[in-house]
Structure 1
Amino acid sequence: MNPTIKDVAKKANVSIATVSRILNKQPGYSVKTKERVLEAIKELGYQPNAVARGLINKRTQTIGVLFPDVSSMFSSDLLKGIEDIAHERGHSVIVCHTTLSGQRTMKYLQLLNEKRVDGIIFTSEAMTEEYYNVLKEMNIPVVLLATQSYRYPLPYVKVDDKHAAYSAVSYLIQKGHHNIGMISGDINDQLAGLPRIEGYKQALLDRGIPFDEKKVVVSRGFRYEDGIAQLPKLLKQAKDLTAVFAASDEIAVGALSAAYELGIRVPEDLSIIGYDNLKIAEMAIPPLTTLAQPLYEMGKAGTEMLLDMLETGQAVESRVMPHSIVERRTVKPLS
């Protein structure tokens, strides 16, 4: 028969309430009492029951995370940051793969509600009225990660996409490039698609370079296949480009592959800069110069904010994270 919390309390000569406070890291006991209880737990081989603890303190020590695409390197970097902080602070993580499907997202929100998660991190997707109403009814802390909402009062952690894209294109201009094309993500994506196009345009205009719509091709997403498909299209409609800004590293690496197939040397014939600084940027041939988002740090920051809200019951301020250029070998300076 498995030992119970009552057995631990009896062996340590303390109350059940004291054992419960020690297990849940609550105050109200001495160091010696804690040592005596932990020793009793060890000797008895007691395994705390998470469900039972949850009934007592109304916490399950779990958080839910919703990702549009769990297979992407982008998501994996965020998730590592999330899990490191969650486990450090005694929480487990339930990951949900929504595939940008509204129906699937609603299904997972219902599941997380049934699992009584303590809080939710909502990533890389627009917050709709339908989602928000469900989250409001759940009455638990929510943090938006790599996304934000102007309409709903939810704290967020993200990079300023327009400013980051502006920095990437400005870098190309500083290297002597003026005939710059762009392979964009979905222009209807208000979170990452449109802001990065706007940053591209603004960088050109601020330096007196006219914007030419023929120098921008729009993809359906931000994947490797989009870069392969769109670079030939871009070069066909915009002659004599010296550089290309890709709206993600996966697009950029796809463009590198397409350039190789076309016999175009990078960076000798064409410079390419990406966006994200994923692991694939280091692995590319040649290694990709890119605009870095601190994805791991963003995951950590979002989780810290969520758990702080959970522990204090107080609102937290949103955070705009810094971005930077990581120079590798795909951008050639022009004299």
Structure 2
Amino acid sequence: MSYTIKDVAKHANVSIATVSRVLNGLSGYSKATEEKVLQAIKELEYQPNAIARGLISKKSNTVGILFPEVSSQFSAKILRGVEEAVHRLGSSVIVCNTASHGQRTMKYLQLLSEKRVDGILFVSESITEEFYKTLDSMKIPVVLISTESYQYPFPFVKVDDKHAAFTATDYLVRMGHSKIGMLGGNKEDLIAGQPRIDGYKQALAQSGLPINEQSIIHSLGFSFKDGFTGLPKLLEQSSDLTAIFAASDALALGAISAAYKLGVKIPDELSIIGYDNLPIAEMAIPPLTTVAQPLEEMGMVATEMLFSMMEQGRRVESRILPHCVIERESVKEIKPI
């Protein structure tokens, strides 16, 4: 049998309002009354109705998170950080997989609005005007993860993509390479695509190395397939390259697979550095040297920012988190003769 709050009140011989106050941690009752209510809850094995409690507290104790690809290792690491923080802060999370599809994103935003979530985390996609209008109409806090918006005033947590790409390319330079190509993402992507290209070019320019557009492949995205198809094109255009900066680990792993098919030895004949430090990077053959984004920390920090906004009712400052090079075995040092 499923008992209600009315049954608990009757069993404890108190009012329904008193049971509600005990459940929500409010004052206005004695210690003895609290013990009677808690004992009644225990004896009846009463489970509070989350929806009913939400109507009282004006909170659902849930937050929504939207991913463009929820099954990816990138998303999984961010989600691990988010879930750890959410549960520590006494709430739960609704995960939405948008598949980078505008209509699906709008459908999920409507669902999260109907669920009356307390806040939203928006991951790795650009904020369109349509998204912004819907999010703004919900009147709840929003924090962006691994993306940002120059047009709309949402706080964000990310690394500096341009600086991280500079660091990756500069590492190759310091390892003795002077003929360095790039497997990039979509140059129309102003959040991660173009900034990583800019960082690559800046590192070359700072070292006095020529910038050759033939040494850059612009892909539609950052996928394994993009890297697999991009490497042969890049080597056809620039056959004298000794190193490549790949703008994601997936691109790098696709390139390593294509190199194997082409009979190009990594790193003896061609060095490759990736970007992200996904778990699969250290499983590659050879293990992938890469620029690490602190993805779990990004998830935790963004969640803590979201809860601060939910509790304080005001905007928080955006955060740029540090990146670093993780050295493995896919980059060979070229020593001067």
Q: Same fold (TM over 0.5)?
A: yes
Q: Which residue of 2 aligns with 1:83?
A: 83
**Pairwise mapping of residues 117-156 of structure 1 onto structure 2 (< 5 A)?**
117-156=117-156
**Pairwise mapping of residues 155-174 of structure 1 onto structure 2 (< 5 A)?**
155-174=155-174
Going from structure 1 to structure 2, the CA distance change for 1:183 and 1:24 (only over 3 Å counts) comes to: farther
Q: Distance in 1 between matches of 2:172 and 2:14?
A: 68
Deviation at 1:137, TM superposition (A): 0.8
Deviation at 1:36, TM superposition (A): 5.5
Q: Which residue of 1 aligns with 2:258?
A: 258
Deviation at 1:31, TM superposition (A): 7.4
Q: Distance in 2 between matches of 1:72 and 1:22?
A: 43
**Pairwise mapping of residues 150-299 of structure 1 onto structure 2 (< 5 A)?**
150-299=150-299
**Pairwise mapping of residues 83-122 of structure 1 onto structure 2 (< 5 A)?**
83-122=83-122
Deviation at 1:131, TM superposition (A): 0.9
Going from structure 1 to structure 2, the CA distance change for 1:246 and 1:37 (only over 3 Å counts) comes to: farther
Give the match's secondary structure for 2:269. coil
Going from structure 1 to structure 2, the CA distance change for 1:20 and 1:324 (only over 3 Å counts) comes to: farther
Q: Which residue of 1 aligns with 2:68?
A: 68
Q: Distance in 1 between matches of 2:28 and 2:237?
A: 72
Q: Distance in 2 between matches of 1:29 and 1:329?
A: 66
TM, length-normalised to structure 1: 0.95
- Structure 2: unaligned runs, 5 residues or longer: none
Q: Distance in 2 between matches of 1:265 and 1:26?
A: 67
% identical aligned pairs: 62
Deviation at 1:314, TM superposition (A): 2.3
One-letter identity of the residue aligned with 1:46: Y
Q: Distance in 2 between matches of 1:41 and 1:91?
A: 22
1:196-226 per-position Cα deviation (integer Å, ceiling 9, x unaligned)? 0000000110111111101100111111111
1:45 matched to 2:45? The reply is yes
One-letter identity of the residue aligned with 1:148: E
Going from structure 1 to structure 2, the CA distance change for 1:13 and 1:224 (only over 3 Å counts) comes to: same
- Structure 1: unaligned runs, 5 residues or longer: none
Q: Distance in 2 between matches of 1:234 and 1:34?
A: 71
RMSD: 1.8
How many equivalent residue pairs? 335
One-letter identity of the residue aligned with 2:276: D
Give the match's secondary structure for 1:255. helix
Q: Distance in 2 between matches of 1:313 and 1:9?
A: 34
1:23-61 per-position Cα deviation (integer Å, ceiling 9, x unaligned)? 345567787766654443222201110011111111111
Q: Which residue of 2 aligns with 1:58?
A: 58
1:158-190 per-position Cα deviation (integer Å, ceiling 9, x unaligned)? 111001101111111111111100000111111
TM, length-normalised to structure 2: 0.94
